[in-house]
Amino acid sequence: MITFKNIQYNCSMELTLDLIGGKWKSLILWHLGDNALRFSELKKSLPKITQKMLTQQLRELEASGLVNRHIYTQIPPKVEYSLTPDGKSLLPVLETLCQWGLNYANTMEPMDEKNVK
C-alpha cells in the first residue's frame, strides 16, 4: 500500500497512472518537454483537446507537482507552463513509450478494409 496526498494506492503503478494517465496528461508533458509554452501554444499542439479539458489537465498536473505555471506581471497578462524537475524526470519514460509505439506500429501487419469491422 502506498499513501500519497491522503489517497491509498495498491501499487506504485496505480499512483503513476493517476498522475500521468488518461488521454491528455502524457501528451501535455511530452509537448512541454524542455520548453515553456503558453496556453494557446499548448492548445495548438493538441488540436483535439477542448479548452476546458486542457485547463483541467494543466491544473491537475500543477497540483501534482509536475508542471509549473508562471504568471508574468505585465499587460496583457502572460502565463507560461513548464515542467518541474519531477516532470522533466518523466521525459525518458515518455520517450521510451513513444519508441515502443513506433516499434509496435512497424511490426503490426497492415489491416485491409475487409479485416476491419
pLDDT in tens, 12-26: 999 999 999 989 999
User: Residue 113 pLDDT > 70, yes or no?
Assistant: no
116 vs 100: CA distance, rounded Å: 23
Q: pTM for this structure?
A: 0.85
Determine the pLDDT at residue 108.
83
Residue in 75, 87, 86 with CA at minimum distance from that of residue 37? 87
Determine the pLDDT at residue 115.
54
Over the stretch 98-112, which tens digit does the pLDDT of each residue have? 999 999 999 886 665
Q: Which domains does the chain have, with CATH numbers?
A: 25-107 (1.10.10.10)
Angle at 108 between CA 107 and CA 114, to 5 degrees: 155
55 vs 47: CA distance, rounded Å: 14
- Farthest CA pair distance, the chain: 58
Over the stretch 74-88, which tens digit does the pLDDT of each residue have? 888 899 999 999 999
Residue in 89, 88, 76 with CA at minimum distance from that of residue 36? 88
